[in-house]
Amino acid sequence: MAGPVDLAFDPWDPEFLADPYPAYAELRARGRLIRYEPTGQWLVPHHADVSALLRERRLGRTYRHRFGHEEFGRSAPPPEHEPFHTLNDHGMLDLEPPDHTRIRRLVSKAFTPRTVERLRPYVHGLADELVGKLVEAGGGDLLTDVAEPLPVAVIAEMLGIPEADRAPLRPWSAAICGMYELNPSEEAAARAVRASVEFSDYLRELIAARREEPGEDLISGLIAAHDEGDRLTEQELVSTAVLLLNAGHEATVNATVNGWWALFRNPGQLAALRADHSLIPSAIEELMRYDTPLQLFERWVLDDIEIDGTTVPRGAEIAMLFGSANHDPSVFADPGRLDLSRGENPHISFSAGIHYCIGAPLARMELAASMTALLRRAPTLVPAEEPRRTPNFVIRGLAGLAVEVA
């Protein structure tokens, strides 16, 4: 174990955010478990440890199924944050068995590989249309013209959110996701609370309408599952819809722009991809590894656990560094090199264990659709300027990606 030390790991430093990977190498060299005072967490930077801990039942995304706040040595969140927690804490991502198992099974029934596969023509058609407009305009912002509208429309379509209602989805999601950053500010919390109230109110109305008049959409499917066996409460229904809508686009948006910015910085690899589109599937995996869209996930220690000779006690919090694990040289040869034809690629960008991303097949399809359309219809695409990063660490992305069709 390494003790409190002066680390290059500083998630609030723009220089670190520009390229966190050298700081991760330093962390991995320091040890398997590093106490990090600014957040009171234990950092875990190695692939083998992250991979094992994601499957570890002594850890949990929540502790509330077993302990009260005080009993666990934590303080209850302030009452004014309650709308955010009510919404967040009833989604499957923040539940543990048995509730997690029940909800995940139900959602999986509606969110099958077949449902996703049926969407393929729609997803590719939409990607083609969006890229077509970008090309006609001679360029634009890859973020707002392609990366955002594609996954937002797809997940909204799946859930049956009418087109006219979609504009606030992205700002609501961004406000809620602000709470997943490390040590969020009071202003960020206030924005998340406001968005939680508005988003929940909207969905309650939509659910009531679908209950009256069911459609072919996922919300109607979840209501039916709910009504048959009383297995999803009304709050769980709202929380599940919000989780699907937010998780259903946030990371895909960032994976798209991080991926293209990585390609632009590696012209040799981009040229190889342009010459051989059969590299698309392995390119997508490699880009998700190379610049990991979700950098950190946390787990509570529910029962004492020993890591590298140190007992991490119940009540502690572990922060698993996905970006670091994805650059661990004991798993990935020459991890700092973008290699679109990398064969074995056991990156953990979609997590592992019981919370493994339920949307991974959809995300892969969306990323392949936009990449195919951009390679085919914009073979001369170049960046117009160096993009700015968002100030976020956990959800790693760009504030925009200006491009030109040369």
Residues forming the site for ligand HEM (CB under 6 A): 61, 92-93, 104, 155, 243-244, 247-248, 251-252, 255, 293-294, 297, 349-351, 355, 357-359, 362-363
Residue whose CB is less far from ligand HEM, 135 or 176: 176
Output the smallest distance, CB 361 to ligand HEM, in A: 9
Output the smallest distance, CB 247 to ligand HEM, in A: 4
Secondary structure of residue 299 in the 3-state scheme = strand
Output the smallest distance, CB 240 to ligand HEM, in A: 8
Strand 41-44 and strand 317-321: pairing? parallel
Output the smallest distance, CB 309 to ligand HEM, in A: 26
- Contact, 360 vs 63, CB < 8 A? no
Question: Which residues neighbour 137 within 8 Å (Cβ) at sequence distance 6 or greater?
Answer: none
Residue whose CB is less far from ligand HEM, 92 or 223: 92
Residue whose CB is less far from ligand HEM, 348 or 403: 348
- The closest alpha carbon to 339, from 403, 390, 268, belongs to 268
- The closest alpha carbon to 139, from 385, 372, 381, belongs to 381
| Residue of closest CB approach to ligand HEM | 359
Output the smallest distance, CB 131 to ligand HEM, in A: 18
31, HSE (Cβ side, Cα atoms, 13 Å): 16
Sign of CA dihedral 284, 117, 98, 205: positive
- The closest alpha carbon to 32, from 324, 318, 307, belongs to 307
Residue whose CB is less far from ligand HEM, 104 or 210: 104
d(CA 75, CA 112): 39
Distance of CA 249 to the CA centre of its chain: 8
Residue whose CB is less far from ligand HEM, 155 or 302: 155
d(CA 78, CA 118): 44
Secondary structure of residue 171 in the 3-state scheme = helix
Output the smallest distance, CB 30 to ligand HEM, in A: 24
Residue whose CB is less far from ligand HEM, 104 or 170: 104
Residue whose CB is less far from ligand HEM, 247 or 403: 247
Output the smallest distance, CB 136 to ligand HEM, in A: 27
